[in-house]
Structure 1
Amino acid sequence: MGNYSRRRFLQGSLVLAASSSVSHYAFAEDKVPLWIPPLTAVGRGSPILLNARNVKKAFDGKQKVDAWGFNDSYLGPTIKMKQNDFLRLTYRNNLSEAIAINIQGLQANGEISGSINRNIAPQTSWSPIIPIKQSASTCWYHSDTIGRSAYQSYRGLVGMWIIEDEQSKKGLIPNKYGENDIPLILQDISLNYEGQQLFNLDKNQFLGKQLFVNGQRNCFLNVPRGFIRLRLLNASVSRPYYLSLDNQQPLLKIASGLGFLSQPQEIKTLLLVPGERAEVLVNLTQGQTVRLLAGKDRGLFDQVRSMLGMSDDLEDNLVVELRPQGLASAFAQQKPTLPDANLGLPLTPVKERTFVLNTQDAMINQRRFDPRRIDLVVKLDTVERWILSADQPTGFQLQGAKFLIEQQNGKRLTKAQLAWTDTVWVEGETRILVKFENQSSNSYPFIFGASNLLLADKGCMGLLVVQ
């Protein structure tokens, strides 16, 4: 006990010394305007180019360093499409290594979804024609290269993909991109003294020290007074986020990644796991500035402990500060209503499967990923119940299909909590009802497994054929 107490005393002394030596602006630096990724609204066969290339980025707000991105910036443009439309997409690889790109959440067949079997060699292109069949969704595109997806996504090969339908434009749901419909791409990044990204491939998870949102830290956004829609994407390699407002005001959850809820759900905290998307409304009709935080509000002591490596917490957990402007119109003050969630209940599973994720050894059901092996074959247009568990809490995701969360950590979800998704947090036993509506093949299979990209790269994933 004496040694333990002395160790704690020394740690406390280091914290006090560091806090006294760190300049004031390190914790009270001026906030910067949130950067909104440019919107590319396409349809009716319009062409679009995603050019993966080296870019320059000032992560520390000062010195520009090498990073990766699409077209001319770190992170890619937000692509927006409508249901029953299609586009001509060209991926161009101007990097020095091969890449594969997955549009996570896209409900399409395996041949055009991208992913691991669509490697694009340096200085080459791939140009699929992508039809959009699904209803309103928030998807994302990112690297899915075998063994390199975590590193390449971390470097900047990430972007948001929005799908609208006719119903999603109704019910007073905010839909003015960048004004009252805000994309928030969350990443945790570590930097060296020169402002360059640091990344450790040795472990099965990576937890960066600084929180970046749309590629920036410590951001604010001026927004119109009224209800604001936040489209949240956890693009971090391994870190889950527990999101809440600093004034204890509830968030109104309206959608998961692949569909709306039947009605808005008031929640104090939103858990967002790696790869997961969610949509929430924030009521700013009173005109007060609010801060969206990742975890509890933290002081100087917590931040210094993180800087000294005494915890895995973020140095600063501000996602964004929302500053309402002007007067709220009568229209803006009305609580939005949601379209039909299209749950299609009841769902009758034809088969039940069990999956155990081993996060220590990066395996599923005691097997490590093998690109030459098909792990599952399921029948098209059927529903299966998958029972998931893990040795430690972790995220799980599925490509090319969608599911409803039936039971999580022993608790059955109510109908009001249900929405279509492709990502779930596995803590205790989790049951999902998976609907297979898209084909894949031995040549172009779907993938399933850990949503922690580094854990997936190590082997915690499998291949799925739907036929």
Structure 2
Amino acid sequence: MAGQDFDFCVSRRLFLAGSASAALMAGISPRLALASDRPALPIPAEMRADPAGTIKLSAQASTMNFLPGVATPTYGINGPYLGPALRVRRGDTVNMDVRNTLAEPVTMHWHGLEIPGDDDGGPAEAIAPGATWKPSLTIDQPAATCWFHPHYYPSTAELVLKGLAGLFIIEDDDTDRLPLPSTWGVDDIPIIIQDRRFNPDGSFFHRFNLAAVTVGYVGDTVLVNGAINPVASTAKGWLRLRLLNGSNARSYQLAFSDDRPFYVIASDGGLLAQPVRMNSLPLHAGERYEILVDARDGSAFDLVTSPVMQMAMNLPPFDQTLPVMTFSPDGAETEGTMPDALATLPPLSSSQDLQTQDLKFGMNLDAEGMGLFMKAGLPKMRAGGSTDPEIAKAVEQVILEGPDLTQEAQLSANNINGVSFALNKVNFDLPIDTDLRMVFSEGTDKMLHPVHVHGCQYRVVTVNGDPAPEYMQGWKDTAAISQGGTVEVQVRFKHPATAEKPYMAHCHILEHEDSGMMAAFTVS
């Protein structure tokens, strides 16, 4: 908060020390054993539809002890922070019952699901305090690790920051036939990575100032499934990790501390054609990847993140390789393994005459606004190198004490195709059941924007003019552009979206989304 003395290293010390008092979430199954004084990795409880085909969710206020002896005000879904892992099958029709017990409106967006605009949970589907929303979701897409979170405009960032998010897992017969690790919390491990920053009183820091609408949320503490520096006691064998970047803005460059290789088997919308061997994986806000890692030797190892080329995101402790969590494969050996082939993906359209929708992401900041960051020395902060302490302090001061924006200034700070988002305004229309080309590009600001499109799963064709890397060649709903680059995708919308309940295309840096970097579109 402005005028308060923040300990620049406090969260780093807390991260490295861990917290024995980090509470397990309600609805979280404590299956993994506690190691030393560090918390066990909380595992979200699996939740399926009841015999009537209904899943009941409740957004509620609570508190959590992330830091020793300090209660942090939180929001959660069926518990104090985050929510259950919903499980559905392809072919199901699931009746959702979403109750809002908070004192402010919310929505609930089913991120990654191919469903009509009426059920998508975008900004037009507000759930008032005390009200219940009951969409019916017909699941007709491949097995995938999706997620759900609010999409209320213009407070999505604040709602997600406080804890409203959860996994939405789709199953199908084709994936069931593969010998993949499948025991929840044992060799099939959900990993929701978020960064947070705490005020001195333990509450989450968040301000809509110039820093927020420019670079997004800059945390200094990593949470995994709501715990700081947890330990996962797992099976000894192949592990399937379901990675979700649930952060408001931060990207991660993930690897393992012993440099062991891993294999990407699925992206946002489902399985790849075959496993892709990697040693390091970029994970942007809103993205999901499933990876397999060989833990048959039984030795413990850390999941780590390295500095990234994203403005302001390599402040300490992210100025060096940082441990995120530890895996201790000390359980019984399991039978899950890595198949040679995974899924059959349809070929991309070879037509050069596809209708094209361009989306150019830009900022409306004037020279004076950008000057604050130039003076703070952000251009000198380079990923992977040491950060000048004076520059870091200057940047930290802008983040913590930069002037708050009026809501009018916030809502017009960013844009797509030169137009800031406005409720009840449709920006473009697309045809249904037609192969389309979409091109995401970035203006002259050289910023990073993970682009999410509702109501679809797309295929990435090129990144900065080159063919998409192998690990991105499956089904995607979020892909990042940066440094003036472009991403070209092919997409086909299977369902309609009306002007009353349109789909959204937006940057998944939530502070960008809440400050105008979003476009509404119809499909008919």
TM-score (norm 2): 0.79
Say if 1:325 and 1:311 are closer, same or farther in 2 by CA, change over 3 A: closer
C-alpha separation between the residues in 1 aligned to 2:55 and 2:13? 45
2:490 matched to which residue of 1?
433
Query: Is residue 173–residue 337 contact of structure 1 (8 Å, CA) maintained in 2?
Result: no
Say if 1:169 and 1:374 are closer, same or farther in 2 by CA, change over 3 A: same
Q: Please state if 1:206 is matched with 2:217.
A: yes
C-alpha separation between the residues in 2 aligned to 1:387 and 1:62? 49
Say if 1:49 and 1:139 are closer, same or farther in 2 by CA, change over 3 A: same
Deviation by residue 1:410-464 (Cα, 9 ceiling, x = unmatched): 3212667510110001131211112211211011100001111110110001001
Superposed structure 1 runs of 4+ greater than 4 Å apart? 21-26, 309-312, 414-417
SS of 2:228's partner is coil
Aligned counterparts, 1:262-341, within 5 A: 262-295=273-306, 311=316, 313=318, 317-326=322-331, 328=333, 331-332=335-336, 334-341=337-344
2:519 matched to which residue of 1?
462
SS of 2:119's partner is helix
Structure 2, gaps ≥5 residues long? 1-6, 19-36, 366-412
2:123 matched to which residue of 1?
116
SS of 1:198's partner is coil
Say if 1:67 and 1:316 are closer, same or farther in 2 by CA, change over 3 A: farther
Deviation by residue 1:117-150 (Cα, 9 ceiling, x = unmatched): 1101111111112111111011111110010001
For residue 151 of structure 2, the aligned residue among 144, 148, 157 is 144
Larger CA deviation: 28-37 vs 120-129: 28-37
1:354 matched to which residue of 2?
358
SS of 2:193's partner is strand
Give the aligned residue type for 1:313: F
For residue 454 of structure 2, the aligned residue among 399, 403, 406 is 399
C-alpha separation between the residues in 2 aligned to 1:158 and 1:310? 26
1:13 matched to which residue of 2?
none
Give the aligned residue type for 1:459: G
TM-score (norm 1): 0.88
Query: Is residue 116–residue 144 contact of structure 1 (8 Å, CA) maintained in 2?
Result: yes
C-alpha separation between the residues in 2 aligned to 1:184 and 1:282? 14
SS of 1:455's partner is helix
Say if 1:24 and 1:124 are closer, same or farther in 2 by CA, change over 3 A: closer
SS of 2:115's partner is coil
1:302 matched to which residue of 2?
none
C-alpha separation between the residues in 2 aligned to 1:127 and 1:32? 36
Aligned counterparts, 1:227-238, within 5 A: 227-238=238-249
Aligned-pair CA distance for 1:65: 2.9
Q: Please state if 1:174 is matched with 2:163.
A: no
Q: Please state if 1:423 is matched with 2:426.
A: no
2:102 matched to which residue of 1?
95
2:57 matched to which residue of 1?
50
C-alpha separation between the residues in 1 aligned to 2:12 and 2:268? 41
Deviation by residue 1:218-272 (Cα, 9 ceiling, x = unmatched): 1111111111111111111111111111111122100111021100001111111
Say if 1:45 and 1:337 are closer, same or farther in 2 by CA, change over 3 A: farther
Query: Is residue 368–residue 460 contact of structure 1 (8 Å, CA) maintained in 2?
Result: yes
Query: Is residue 252–residue 307 contact of structure 2 (8 Å, CA) maintained in 1?
Result: no
For residue 247 of structure 1, the aligned residue among 232, 243, 258 is 258
Say if 1:368 and 1:172 are closer, same or farther in 2 by CA, change over 3 A: same
Give the aligned residue type for 2:342: P
2:231 matched to which residue of 1?
220
Query: Is residue 363–residue 459 contact of structure 1 (8 Å, CA) maintained in 2?
Result: yes
Give the aligned residue type for 2:433: D
Aligned-pair CA distance for 1:339: 3.2
Aligned-pair CA distance for 1:313: 2.5
- Number of residues paired by the alignment? 439
Structure 1, gaps ≥5 residues long? 1-16, 298-305
RMSD: 2.6
1:300 matched to which residue of 2?
none
Query: Is residue 347–residue 383 contact of structure 1 (8 Å, CA) maintained in 2?
Result: no
C-alpha separation between the residues in 2 aligned to 1:207 and 1:269? 22
C-alpha separation between the residues in 2 aligned to 1:433 and 1:24? 45
Say if 1:162 and 1:64 are closer, same or farther in 2 by CA, change over 3 A: same
Query: Is residue 239–residue 292 contact of structure 2 (8 Å, CA) maintained in 1?
Result: yes
C-alpha separation between the residues in 2 aligned to 1:53 and 1:82? 27
Q: Please state if 1:384 is matched with 2:387.
A: no
Query: Is residue 292–residue 338 contact of structure 2 (8 Å, CA) maintained in 1?
Result: no
SS of 1:248's partner is coil
1:448 matched to which residue of 2?
505
C-alpha separation between the residues in 2 aligned to 1:216 and 1:193? 19
Query: Is residue 97–residue 133 contact of structure 2 (8 Å, CA) maintained in 1?
Result: yes
Query: Is residue 307–residue 321 contact of structure 2 (8 Å, CA) maintained in 1?
Result: no
Higher strand share: 1
Give the aligned residue type for 2:249: S
2:373 matched to which residue of 1?
none
Aligned counterparts, 1:68-83, within 5 A: 68-83=75-90
C-alpha separation between the residues in 1 aligned to 2:344 and 2:323? 31
1:413 matched to which residue of 2?
468
Deviation by residue 1:375-410 (Cα, 9 ceiling, x = unmatched): 111110012111221132221110001211111123
Say if 1:326 and 1:49 are closer, same or farther in 2 by CA, change over 3 A: closer
SS of 1:153's partner is helix
Deviation by residue 1:264-305 (Cα, 9 ceiling, x = unmatched): 0011111111111111111111111111112169xxxxxxxx
C-alpha separation between the residues in 2 aligned to 1:416 and 1:452? 22
Give the aligned residue type for 1:220: V
Say if 1:184 and 1:58 are closer, same or farther in 2 by CA, change over 3 A: same
Query: Is residue 256–residue 419 contact of structure 1 (8 Å, CA) maintained in 2?
Result: yes
1:259 matched to which residue of 2?
270
Say if 1:281 and 1:377 are closer, same or farther in 2 by CA, change over 3 A: same
Give the aligned residue type for 1:431: E
C-alpha separation between the residues in 2 aligned to 1:457 and 1:414? 30
Larger CA deviation: 62-71 vs 453-462: 62-71
C-alpha separation between the residues in 1 aligned to 2:282 and 2:477? 15
Query: Is residue 225–residue 285 contact of structure 1 (8 Å, CA) maintained in 2?
Result: yes
Query: Is residue 347–residue 433 contact of structure 1 (8 Å, CA) maintained in 2?
Result: no
Say if 1:45 and 1:399 are closer, same or farther in 2 by CA, change over 3 A: farther
Give the aligned residue type for 1:340: A
